[in-house]
Structure 1
């Protein structure tokens, strides 16, 4: 869905897409296993839906959402607080020339999907669709 790109007007390269997906998988694994030594972070179940990298691969932006969409700010704070340890864990799991700087943002696309489902479920909207 329409997330902001680091380089509007230019599609990400295959390399950016590949590295972003590798970082996403590694970050998801690290969070699922509870490898980070922060009880606040480990008690949360956080989905990493996508990771976008800058063209030079030095910045990786992870789109995240805690399970159920609750405690969003707490999740972001915990991720940001543990950025160094997460970066080291990713670096250990991947062989990249540079260890990318990690940035965390909330994935708002889940909210938009829920709103779309809610709108499509309304009687007048469903009637318009059926008539169209």
Structure 2
């Protein structure tokens, strides 16, 4: 024998369901994708330059360049030394070139992916994305 109060208490313990919305992503703005990929490429370029410099400092501090100089001088009668080609200015220049090339490639790749997605949406109908509100 349940009373009305028992029924109301039972109803109040049930959690209300959150509203759900299902949307399709049918278009990626080309210039937004280019700007976002450019910013990601700038971050990657900074990481590239810093990592090259840190690796150079570690290799230089451990003396690996000097050991490689000894190895190459034993093969080339002392006429070739690695330390003439590897220094901090050379490492910075090489890392800057790699960073600029990565900047260009990642930016173009972001634009190409956005274009390919926009073309693929015509065939597939888009990406179905679900959202809920709590």
* TM tier, smaller: under 0.3
Relative to total residues, which structure has the larger strand share, 1 or 2? 1
Relative to total residues, which structure has the larger helix share, 1 or 2? 2
Q: Which structure is richer in relative contact order (CA contacts within 8 A, separation 6 or more)? A: 2
Larger radius of gyration: 2
TM-score of the superposition, structure 2-length normalised? 0.22
TM-score of the superposition, structure 1-length normalised? 0.22
